[in-house]
């Protein structure tokens, strides 16, 4: 998998997550680090890149909720 495409998706989803939940980049970063969301995107890129961004965001919301994080 091309690293630049993974990075592009990670940045795009990072920004869209913050916008979706009306949170600042610093808080988004804290959440993404705590729950290794960037790692999830990297590991699952082959499946995620064929989904729309909204679907990926829904997956991330599900991961966070299943781990006890309230959105």
Tell me the C-alpha distance between 38 and 17, whole Å: 12
Please list the helix, strand and coil fractions of the chain in percent, rounded to the nearest 5, in that order. 75, 0, 25
Per-domain residue ranges of the chain? 3-66
Q: What is the pLDDT of residues 38-54, one digit of tens each?
A: 999 999 999 999 999 99
Q: Are 16 and 28 in contact (CB under 8 A)?
A: no
Q: What pLDDT does residue 36 have?
A: 97
Q: What pLDDT does residue 45 have?
A: 96
């Amino acid at each position: 998998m091309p690293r630049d495409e993974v990075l592009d998706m990670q940045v795009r989803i990072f920004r869209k997550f913050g916008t979706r939940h009306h949170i600042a980049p610093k808080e988004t970063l804290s959440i993404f680090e705590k729950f290794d969301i960037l790692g999830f995107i990297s590991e699952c890129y082959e499946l995620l890149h064929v989904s729309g961004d909204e679907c990926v965001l829904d997956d991330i919301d599900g991961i966070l909720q299943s781990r006890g994080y309230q959105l």
